[in-house]
């Protein structure tokens, strides 16, 4: 029996106009209230790495300063922490800060897949892999909502470019859609039940996501069982009535009076059933109730939050290269260090657009390095490059000054990266090369100083080909938020052992990237022609060496993968990996478990990440790490059967320190009991008919009869089968049975055979051992 909720009761008291009106916001950031029924308005603000609360309810506020709030590392940075617990902690911290700032819904996290390194909002997104993104996103949502602040998981779905995004349809085949682009959303919905989901601006396969029944109704609600609110991205609504029918509950921003009117008229004319409107309103009322339930949380101080921002930044930075063990720096062995590059004094801490937070304070790398080095070591600074200079201008004076300083020092640290203006919502990235000047600067400094360290700031993968072989060390510092300055200083001097790993592949050159041939939409359509082969899946299949692979990241210590075991128990596969710290420092390793399907006849990526764990190990310590994989982790989406299928057969479980550094593997035979008999139909192939003894018996009987009348007999020997295996049986009958088909036709014969074969099913033991 269905219980009547408080929201149901309220619903009965609302007029049609009130209901329609509740389906849009009050202004830029609030829902509407209904005072006579004590329904309060609730507030929502961006964003993905901190709270961006505007000064007024009417302002969009993306070009100016807003209320100061803690600025945490952006999505790509935090995605490279691979630390589920940290994401939960960040969620909790943002929930508490949200409470303090009267925020009921936080418009994040952003969890779209990175299809191309040129995506303008890549800095907001976690990774190129749905498992990594989904696990991190679920932990974040869980933490946030534990404080009574709703998450808004965005942008649903396939918003992978900024270029003409509002009029471009992402054209994605269903298997790719489900396995790559929806999978992280699905994981988060099922694990953490976000209270809201934000639809995207773009169309998906020809229909705006804000009114897409396949996406919002069939997949999200019916298949995944989602009961929260779907809200629109800001102005993403086109046809509001269609949106209500598809299950888009809340339009933002409001008040959108014209749409209130349109909804009312649609109900009155019978175009829209009132119960469809009620469903949306009920969900909005439930959301309001959920966010009002929590009161009186304990609030951390600004100082505590800043410390978390520092810790999060340190966990996210990735040590990409460390030749000769140059890092960490040992002040007692050095007398002077050249610090080159503006970003050392004016760090880039985040990207621009709706996610841009006004930080409460900002750590400056230069100051923090001086603080750690103290009197022991002389740090000297050169500007290196001008602020946001055009990408192709070269200033020889700045280069000469830097080279001279580097030559006089024991070590040179260059802070480089994408210019401030290059990464923003609204425009895609023009290039993943460093600006010419910076590239030349690095080469010139590295020529003069063999001990050269490069620290990079960017929210997306960068190309390093022109200079990578010349420098000893590279740290990917990402856009690491207000605590990034301290974090990088602590990593450089070894106070923190780096433990981040790349959450996206760094290519040798842009033309190596999976979507290079189809980077942006044309004439309103963007075809995702690389299909399933995004990120490392592509580099694996093409056997292409990336500059740095997905999952790569070094530590100041070393790890040995000692053993790996996997056993299937029912619907689960239990994997145990033993890992040892073989170095002299404590450190964290991220163990990555990939699954490879050895036998599937459908296209599958060579390997796919299915689980991971970040473990802290003291020197000499060994830990056993347990993972549980389930049927879904072995499945692909079978579009013919419209379901996830895990074929029976051999799989390999790979334990890697990166996607290209697989340390241990084990092979096991899995049977999830989902092997399905072939569904016989008019065009079933000879191979299908031969597969089971019951169909083979029918086949042999008919062939024997046919052979009695034929000029040329069909003998099912190796040679015959080798040639005709992939022919539909009906075609073989057409070819060899002309004399036999006197008063019947190939179709009638096949129909008769289908009836015969439908009467018996193959026994379990007859299911093919493929
Ligand atoms: C962005 C969203 C954001 C919203 C509100 C839109 O432009 O796409 O991510 O939450 O604005 O600022």
Q: Does 154 contact ligand 1 (Cβ within 6 A)?
A: yes
- Select the more confidently predicted residue: 651 or 55: 651
Give the mean pLDDT of 502-511. Answer: 98
**CA-nearest residue, atom 6 of ligand 1:** 234
pLDDT band at residue 114 using 50, 70 and 90 as cut-offs: very high
- Select the more confidently predicted residue: 711 or 50: 50
Inter-helix orientation angle 729-736/693-709, to 10° = 10
| Residue 580 backbone dihedrals phi, psi, to 5 degrees | -130, 140
Q: Does 145 contact ligand 1 (Cβ within 6 A)?
A: no
Helix locations, 162-239, DSSP H: 174-176, 183-192, 213
Q: Does 107 contact ligand 1 (Cβ within 6 A)?
A: yes
**CA-nearest residue, atom 9 of ligand 1:** 354
- Determine the 3-state secondary structure of 280 from DSSP: helix
β-pairing verdict for 207-208 and 203-204: antiparallel
- pLDDT surpassing 90 at residue 37: yes
Q: How far apart are CA 180 and CA 198, in angstroms?
A: 18
Cis peptide before 770 (omega within 30 of 0): no
**Spacing, Cα 124 to ligand 1 middle (Å):** 11
Give the mean pLDDT of 394-400. Answer: 95
How high is the pLDDT of residue 637?
Answer: 97
- pLDDT surpassing 60 at residue 376: yes
**Spacing, Cα 216 to ligand 1 middle (Å):** 19
Q: Tell me the longest C-alpha to C-alpha distance in the chain.
A: 103
Give the mean pLDDT of 71-83. Answer: 98
Segment 641-652, tens digit of pLDDT: 899 999 999 999
Q: Is 476 left (phi over 0), alpha (psi -120 to 50) or beta?
A: beta
**Spacing, Cα 425 to ligand 1 middle (Å):** 9
Calculate the alpha carbon distances from 122 to 343, 353, 504 in Å: 20, 12, 10
Contact between 278 and 242 under an 8 Å Cβ cutoff? The reply is: no
How high is the pLDDT of residue 393?
Answer: 86
How high is the pLDDT of residue 64?
Answer: 86
Q: Percentage of residues in the chain with pLDDT exceeding 70? A: 97
Q: Does 121 contact ligand 1 (Cβ within 6 A)?
A: no
Pocket test for ligand 1, best of 30, 166, 231, 234 (most atoms within 8 A of CB): 234
Contact between 29 and 59 under an 8 Å Cβ cutoff? The reply is: no
pLDDT band at residue 711 using 50, 70 and 90 as cut-offs: confident
Contacts of 456 (CB under 8 A, 6+ apart): 416, 417, 462, 474, 475, 476, 477
Contact between 717 and 725 under an 8 Å Cβ cutoff? The reply is: no
233 is catalytic: yes
How high is the pLDDT of residue 676?
Answer: 61
**Spacing, Cα 109 to ligand 1 middle (Å):** 11
Q: Does 354 contact ligand 1 (Cβ within 6 A)?
A: yes
Q: Which of 128, 147, 180 is nearest to 51 (CA)?
A: 147
**CA-nearest residue, atom 2 of ligand 1:** 233
Atom of ligand 1 nearest to the CA of 124: 9
Atom of ligand 1 nearest to the CA of 354: 12
- Determine the 3-state secondary structure of 485 from DSSP: helix
- pLDDT surpassing 60 at residue 35: yes
Q: How far apart are CA 539 and CA 26, in angstroms?
A: 48
- pLDDT surpassing 90 at residue 1: no
Q: Does 356 contact ligand 1 (Cβ within 6 A)?
A: no
- Name the average pLDDT for the chain: 95
Q: Alpha-carbon Rg of the chain, whole angstroms?
A: 30
Cis peptide before 38 (omega within 30 of 0): no
Helix locations, 385-483, DSSP H: 396-407, 436-448
How high is the pLDDT of residue 767?
Answer: 54
What strands lie across the sheet with 649-658, from one edge to the other? 608-617, 587-597, 649-658, 661-670
Least confident of 385-394, 399-408, 501-510: 385-394
Q: Does 234 contact ligand 1 (Cβ within 6 A)?
A: yes
pLDDT band at residue 42 using 50, 70 and 90 as cut-offs: very high
Contacts of 543 (CB under 8 A, 6+ apart): none
How high is the pLDDT of residue 666?
Answer: 97
- Determine the 3-state secondary structure of 559 from DSSP: strand
Catalytic residue among 46, 129, 142, 233: 233
pLDDT band at residue 3 using 50, 70 and 90 as cut-offs: confident
How high is the pLDDT of residue 516?
Answer: 97
Q: Which two tokens stand for residue 477?
A: 């510092």
């Amino acid at each position: 029996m269905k219980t009547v909720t408080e929201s149901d009761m309220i619903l009965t008291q609302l007029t049609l106009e009130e209901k329609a009106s509740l389906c849009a916001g009050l202004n830029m950031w609030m829902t509407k209230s209904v005072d006579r029924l004590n329904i309060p308005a609730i507030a929502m603000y961006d964003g993905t790495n901190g709270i961006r609360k505007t000064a007024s309810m009417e302002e969009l506020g993306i070009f100016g300063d807003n209320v100061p709030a803690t600025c945490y590392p952006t999505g790509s940075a935090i995605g490279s922490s691979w630390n589920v617990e940290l994401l939960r902690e960040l969620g909790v911290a943002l929930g508490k800060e949200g409470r303090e700032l009267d925020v009921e819904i936080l418009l994040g996290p952003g969890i779209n897949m990175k299809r191309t390194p040129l995506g303008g909002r890549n800095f907001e997104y976690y990774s190129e892999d749905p498992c990594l993104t989904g696990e991190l996103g679920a932990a974040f949502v869980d933490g946030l909502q534990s404080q009574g602040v709703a998450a808004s998981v965005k942008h649903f779905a396939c918003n992978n470019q900024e270029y003409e995004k509002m009029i471009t349809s992402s054209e994605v085949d269903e298997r790719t859609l489900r396995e790559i682009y929806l999978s992280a959303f699905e994981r988060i919905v099922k694990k953490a039940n976000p209270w809201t989901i934000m639809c995207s601006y773009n169309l998906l396969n020809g229909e705006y996501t804000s009114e897409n029944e396949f996406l919002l109704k069939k997949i999200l609600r019916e298949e995944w069982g989602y009961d929260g609110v779907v809200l629109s991205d800001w102005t993403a609504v086109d046809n509001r009535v269609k949106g209500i029918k598809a299950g888009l509950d809340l339009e933002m921003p409001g008040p959108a009076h014209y749409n209130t009117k349109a909804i009312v008229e649609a109900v009155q004319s019978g175009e829209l059933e009132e119960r469809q409107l009620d469903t949306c309103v009920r969900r909005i009322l439930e959301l309001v109730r959920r966010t009002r339930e929590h009161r009186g949380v304990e609030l951390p101080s600004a100082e505590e939050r800043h410390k978390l921002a520092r810790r999060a930044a340190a966990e996210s930075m990735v040590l990409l290269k460390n030749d000769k063990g140059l890092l960490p720096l040992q002040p007692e062995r050095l007398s002077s260090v050249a610090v080159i590059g503006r970003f050392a004094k004016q760090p880039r801490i985040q990207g621009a657009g709706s996610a841009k937070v006004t930080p409460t304070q900002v750590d400056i790398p230069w100051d923090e390095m001086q603080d750690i080095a103290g009197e022991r070591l002389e740090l000297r600074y050169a500007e290196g490059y001008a602020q946001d200079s055009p990408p192709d201008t070269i200033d020889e004076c700045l280069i000469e000054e830097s080279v001279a300083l580097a030559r006089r020092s024991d070590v040179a640290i260059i802070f480089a990266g994408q210019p401030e203006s290059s990464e923003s919502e609204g425009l895609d990235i023009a290039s993943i090369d460093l600006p010419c000047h910076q590239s030349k600067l690095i080469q010139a400094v590295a020529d003069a100083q063999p001990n050269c360290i490069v620290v990079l700031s960017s929210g997306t993968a960068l190309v390093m080909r022109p200079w990578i072989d010349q420098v000893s060390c590279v740290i990917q510092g990402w856009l690491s938020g207000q605590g990034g300055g301290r974090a990088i200083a602590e990593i450089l001097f070894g106070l923190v052992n780096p433990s981040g790993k790349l959450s996206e592949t760094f290519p040798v050159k842009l033309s190596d990237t999976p979507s290079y041939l189809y980077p942006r939409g044309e004439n309103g359509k963007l075809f995702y022609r690389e299909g399933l082969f995004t990120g490392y899946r592509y580099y694996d299949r093409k056997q292409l060496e990336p500059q740095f692979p997905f999952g790569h990241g070094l530590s100041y210590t070393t790890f040995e993968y000692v053993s790996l075991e996997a056993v299937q128990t029912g619907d689960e596969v239990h994997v145990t990996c033993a890992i040892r710290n073989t170095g002299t420092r404590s450190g964290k390793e991220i163990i990555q478990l990939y699954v490879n399907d050895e036998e599937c006849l459908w296209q599958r990526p060579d390997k796919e990440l299915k689980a991971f764990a970040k473990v802290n190990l003291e020197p000499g310590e060994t830990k056993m790490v347990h993972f549980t994989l389930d049927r879904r982790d072995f499945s692909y989406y079978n579009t013919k059967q419209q379901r996830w299928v895990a074929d029976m057969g051999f799989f390999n479980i790979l334990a890697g320190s990166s996607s290209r550094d697989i340390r241990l593997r084990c092979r096991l035979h899995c049977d999830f009991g989902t092997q399905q008999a072939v569904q016989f139909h008019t065009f079933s192939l000879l191979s299908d008919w031969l597969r089971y003894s019951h169909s083979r018996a029918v086949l042999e009987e008919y062939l024997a009869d046919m052979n009695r009348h034929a000029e040329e007999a069909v003998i099912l020997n190796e040679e015959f089968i080798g040639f005709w295996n992939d022919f539909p049986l009906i075609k073989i009958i057409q070819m060899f049975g002309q004399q036999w088909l006197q008063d019947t036709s190939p179709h009638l014969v096949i129909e008769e055979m289908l009836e015969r074969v439908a009467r018996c099913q193959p026994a379990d033991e007859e299911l093919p051992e493929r």
